[in-house]
Amino acid sequence: MKTQPRVLLLSATSGAGHVRAAQALEKAFLARGDCEVEHIDALQHVSRLFQRAYDKAYISMVRRAPELMGVLYERTDQPWLHQRRRLALDRLNTGPMIRLLKSVQPDLCVATHFLPAEIIAWLIAKRKLRARNAIVVTDYDVHAMWLAAPWTATTWPSMRRRNISRASACHGKNCASLAFP
């Protein structure tokens, strides 16, 4: 008897949109009835220090210093510029997520947040994960942190010129990019 493909949805509780998108996908996959589906909060699979700092810093900045958040957003929105440094920091803090992904070995990973998308892409590139990587961009714009190759499919928030150029610049063979209005 053939086993059903395993789909692992990874969201983050750093905003309702990431979780809601994953919940909608979970419902759709379950309705198909032809795969096993699991939805996890990626922030539950990082170091406690990283989890506290990430949650508190992001929420505090959005609520108390949105201008500072805007400046930080713009300064870090440079594709591939600081990727190695950021990936090293993320790998250091996502050990539990990395171990989970390696042990589960899903057939398809669907990330609705850039942190798990980046870790999944790194594991696939290092041949430590055999899954396909689907990225669902849940932000209004495609920030540089969302650009985590390799991916199998990705959705973009709009067909704005900037997003089109970013999609075409970083997806390779056997990839699809979809836009939603």
pLDDT at 68: 86
Query: Is the dihedral angle over the CA atoms 165, 169, 174, 175 positive or is it negative?
Result: negative
156: nearest Cα among 131, 132, 133, 176 = 176
User: Per the structure block, which two tokens stand in for 84?
Assistant: 């190695």
DSSP per residue over 120-147, as a string?
Answer: HHHHHHTTS---EEEEE--SSS--GGG-
Domains along the sequence of the chain with CATH: 6-179 (3.40.50)
Positions of the chain with pLDDT under 70:
1, 79-82, 140-181
Rounded Cα–Cα distance for residues 36 and 107 (Å): 10
Verdict on whether the full-model pTM lies above 0.75? yes
Residue type, 71: V
